[in-house]
Amino acid sequence: MVLVFLATLLCVWLVYEFYWKRRNFPPGPTPLPFLGNLLLLHKYQPGHEAFEVLKKKYGPVFTFWFGNTPMIMVTDYTIMKDLFVKQAEHFSERVVFGKLTEIVRGGSYGIIDTNGDKWRTHRRFALQILRDLGVGGNIAEQHILFETEVLLKSIEASDGELTNIKKHLRVAVASTINLFLFGYRFSDDKADELQKILDTLDDFKNVNATFRALLCTVFPILLDFPGFRAMKKTLMGTFKIFSDYSLQHLDEFKQEIDYESDEVKNYVEAYLKEQMKRELEGDFESFSNHQLVNVCFDLWFAGFDTTLTTIQWALIYLSNNPDVQEKMREELANVIGKDQMVTMAEKTKLPYCQAVLN
């Protein structure tokens, strides 16, 4: 009798796992119990190749199981635009892995790992302040042109010798981001401070870019097991380093800030003024110091790596296509001149350069 009961339970469980729970989702690979389709990411290294394979087999929309969580994968540009631009109100929510977020961030904070009203409020605020600070306009352009000049001079200082351009690019991108967030760039006297931040971001990224980290995202309890504790220590330690860096600047800003002035010089100053305004209205939660630290981490981490990677790939493609380089050089020389910086005002006059960059 007991065996019959257990056999029945097993059959019910198998029907649920391999049919019932999948019946209303788009087609996709059969998920394993508990693991889902995670092993496919390990099989096809790096993980994105798994989605290329699945797209060919199941079409542009398919279901991929992260453990017991089904995720609908959209791999077609037209469908993406329809869902996330035209129907953004319905598809703006993201999956937040609460336990891991709590371990690293101390809860649901920042912009990347939040949803609902908190996400909308801080995303809107960040976009507004960055626009006010000139991002996408002339002010930001002047900052970027200045960093470009510094970048070119640092490369020229190598005097034709072999040099790792990534080192110079990292300083330029980091200085631009930090200027908007904290109001200053990384000059030579702040080289040690910059290196500490970059090492922190590298450690955080390298740990997150592993299959073991993906397993911990789905099963955060693993972080307390041997073999995973070092990963937990690194994640928490790197975030604390950045948190301490941000809080140090918060203390400095609070001593110097003019709350009566409407002018803002950087994101942190704008945030602190909004924080004071809300606290006077009795709201001590929505714009907390801990939320600010997390937002700064998100803007630093997301902005730095994507910008740096894009520039590096552009240089790699140009290095492997010298004929394209020459055509760009000719167009720039004819339109701008040999020793002039290019600005957005000349964009429409440079169709070939635009085509290459786009």
For 121-161, the pLDDT digits (tens) are 999 999 999 888 888 777 888 889 999 999 989 888 887 78
For residue 47, the 8-state DSSP code is: T
Specify the pLDDT at position 355: 94
Instruction: Report the mean per-residue pLDDT for the chain.
Output: 88
Specify the pLDDT at position 272: 92
pLDDT digits (tens, 9 = 90+) for 57-75: 999 999 999 888 899 999 9
| Contact call for residues 47 and 212 (beta carbons, < 8 A) | no
Give the model's confidence band at 295: pLDDT under 50 very low, under 70 low, under 90 confident, else very high: very high
d(CA 152, CA 169): 10
Specify the pLDDT at position 170: 93
Task: Find the helix packing angle between 191-208 and 289-319, rounded to 10°.
Answer: 90
Specify the pLDDT at position 58: 95
SS3 content of the chain, % helix, strand, coil (to 5): 70, 5, 30
Name the residue among 263, 249, 255 with its Cα closest to residue 181.
249
CB atoms within 10 A of CB 56: 9
Name the residue among 68, 71, 99, 112 with its Cα closest to residue 220.
99
Task: Find the helix packing angle between 165-182 and 191-208, rounded to 10°.
Answer: 100
pLDDT digits (tens, 9 = 90+) for 261-293: 888 888 999 999 999 999 999 888 899 999 999
pLDDT digits (tens, 9 = 90+) for 301-356: 888 989 999 999 999 999 999 999 999 999 999 998 877 888 888 889 999 999 99
pLDDT digits (tens, 9 = 90+) for 39-57: 998 888 778 889 999 999 9
| Contact call for residues 267 and 82 (beta carbons, < 8 A) | no
Give the model's confidence band at 97: pLDDT under 50 very low, under 70 low, under 90 confident, else very high: confident
Kindly report the pTM of this predicted structure: 0.85
Specify the pLDDT at position 328: 94
Give the model's confidence band at 208: pLDDT under 50 very low, under 70 low, under 90 confident, else very high: confident
Specify the pLDDT at position 16: 72
pLDDT digits (tens, 9 = 90+) for 151-195: 989 888 887 788 888 989 999 999 999 999 998 999 888 889 889
Give the model's confidence band at 6: pLDDT under 50 very low, under 70 low, under 90 confident, else very high: confident
Write out the two tokens for 160.
Answer: 């034709």
Domains within the chain, CATH numbers bracketed? 24-92 (no CATH), 116-320 (1.10.630.10), 321-358 (no CATH)
Q: Which residues contact 293 (CB under 8 A, 6 or more apart)?
A: 109, 242, 243, 246, 247, 250
Specify the pLDDT at position 188: 83
Name the residue among 233, 236, 230, 240 with its Cα closest to residue 196.
240
Specify the pLDDT at position 79: 94
d(CA 169, CA 193): 16
